[in-house]
């Protein structure tokens, strides 16, 4: 059973911080520029229909929370974030997003009344983290442009996120408790959800090859893998060879990939790995990523996950569920005291 490590209200925070959107764009922005926007200058239709253009202006108010106006632009950005989150099968309506932004604004207004430790340092760290997701400054700037944001605006949105997170931590999360009895009861009541298939723990050494590599480059990588396999058979330490030779990020852990089940790896890798017994090493295995040497270090038979193996995940899941409910209850209380106005365009 997969248990969420983050309570879903964080999707709301992402909706106006746009950090999630920028992270998603980091993968595809390298070498690309922002899509050009259609120009209205010299467009006769735009000139004769100023009212129609005004109705879709990013500065149009869609709601007012106490004295703070939420604009059409904020809603559009939030919708873009939700659309970028591929795990969300159904996108929310504009009205639903407006409701969530109203809730976020209420939380922010409550949050600014509390002290947020090292706020400026946290903003700078988050900003650096966002930039680090991109191959260069130009790609980062392109992502900002496509989101209609300046760096200063992104910094301000990150600041708002941190203020709300601080509020949630202090006023809600810190008061949530999950007992050992709660965890055990959830496990016993949902035992069918903890069934799992056969899984293995494996390490590998990858001699990576670019998909567009020449035959000569592929041959060279394969020969290197075969030479490493000979060293392993001669008694050399697998983890040490992985650290010094593998092109996979797992080399930092001596090639350890942790436990995985069937369907999680590419077929050629999976077939070779599941054919091994703990302690055995494969021959050189070719995949689209290059040439692998695989060593299986542990195996779990199909069955029900042991309570001790999942109890901390259950605890996190239950705590986050309580936090989510607590946030919704807290927002409901804030709404009772707030002046909220929806604007119909």
Residue 187 belongs to a domain:
no
CA dist 263 and 302 (Å) reads 14
Say which CATH number the domain at 158 has: 1.10.4030.10
CATH number, domain with residue 279:
3.10.50.40
Residues 19 and 150 in one domain: yes
Lowest average pLDDT, out of 46-55, 204-213, 218-227, 294-303, goes to 46-55
Please indicate, yes or no, whether the overall pTM of this predicted structure exceeds 0.75: no
Contacts of 174 (CB under 8 A, 6+ apart): none
Average pLDDT over residues 268-280: 96
What's the rounded mean pLDDT across residues 271-295?
A: 97
The packing angle between helices 307-337 and 180-189, to 10°, is 110
The per-residue pLDDT for 334 is 96
Count how many domains the chain has.
Answer: 2
* Six-digit token string for 118: 């090292």
Mean pLDDT, residues 76-105: 75
Question: Domain limits at 202?
Answer: 198-301
Q: Examine the pLDDT at 254 and tell me if it is beyond 90.
A: yes
195 bridge partner residues: 304
Residue 166 has pLDDT above 80, yes or no: yes
Q: Say if residue 216 is in the same domain as residue 104.
A: no
For residue 279, CA distances in Å to 99, 200, 203, 230 come to 56, 11, 10, 16
- Whether 56 and 84 map to the same domain: the answer is yes
State the pLDDT at residue 100: 87
For 237, the token pair is 């330490």
Among the residue ranges 73-77, 175-179, 197-201, 300-304, the one predicted with the least confidence is 73-77
**Does a structural domain hold residue 97?**
yes
pLDDT of 345 reads 62
Dihedral angle computed from the Cα positions of residues 48, 51, 57 and 59, in that order, rounded to the nearest 10 degrees:
130
Percentage of the chain modeled with pLDDT above 70: 81
Domain check: are 297 and 327 in the same one? no
Same domain, 216 and 270: yes
Is 212 inside a domain boundary?
yes
Query: Given pLDDT bands bounded at 50, 70 and 90, which one contains residue 55?
Result: low
């Amino acid at each position: 059973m997969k248990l969420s490590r983050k309570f879903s209200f964080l999707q709301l925070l992402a909706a106006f911080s746009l950090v999630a959107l920028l992270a998603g764009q980091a993968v595809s922005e390298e070498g690309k520029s922002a899509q050009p926007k259609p120009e209205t200058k010299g467009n006769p239709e735009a000139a004769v229909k100023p009212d129609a253009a005004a109705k879709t202006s990013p500065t149009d108010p869609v709601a007012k929370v106490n004295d703070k106006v939420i604009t059409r632009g904020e809603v559009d950005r939030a919708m873009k974030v939700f659309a970028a989150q591929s795990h969300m099968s159904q996108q929310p309506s504009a009205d639903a997003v407006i409701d969530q932004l109203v809730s976020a604004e209420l939380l922010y207004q409550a949050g600014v009344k509390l002290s947020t430790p090292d706020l400026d340092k946290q903003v700078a760290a988050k900003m650096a983290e966002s930039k680090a997701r991109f191959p260069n400054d130009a790609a980062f700037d392109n992502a900002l442009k496509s989101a209609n944001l300046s760096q200063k605006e992104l910094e301000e949105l990150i600041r708002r996120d941190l203020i709300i997170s601080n509020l949630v931590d202090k006023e809600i999360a810190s008061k949530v408790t999950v007992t050992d009895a709660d965890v055990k009861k959830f496990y016993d009541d949902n035992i069918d959800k903890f069934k799992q298939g056969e899984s293995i723990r494996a390490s590998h050494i990858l001699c990576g090859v670019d998909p567009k590599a020449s035959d000569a480059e592929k041959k060279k990588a394969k020969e290197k893998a075969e030479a490493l396999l000979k060293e392993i058979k001669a008694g050399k330490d697998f983890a040490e060879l992985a650290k010094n030779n593998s092109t996979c990020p797992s080399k930092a852990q001596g090639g350890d990939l942790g436990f995985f089940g069937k369907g999680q790896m590419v077929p050629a890798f999976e077939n070779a790995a599941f054919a091994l017994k703990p302690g055995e090493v494969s021959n050189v295995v070719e995949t689209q990523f290059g040439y692998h040497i695989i060593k299986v270090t542990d195996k779990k038979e199909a069955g029900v996950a042991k309570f001790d193996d999942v109890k901390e995940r259950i605890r996190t899941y239950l705590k986050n569920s309580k936090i989510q409910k607590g946030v919704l209850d807290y927002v409901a209380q804030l709404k009772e005291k707030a002046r909220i106005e929806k604007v119909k365009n």
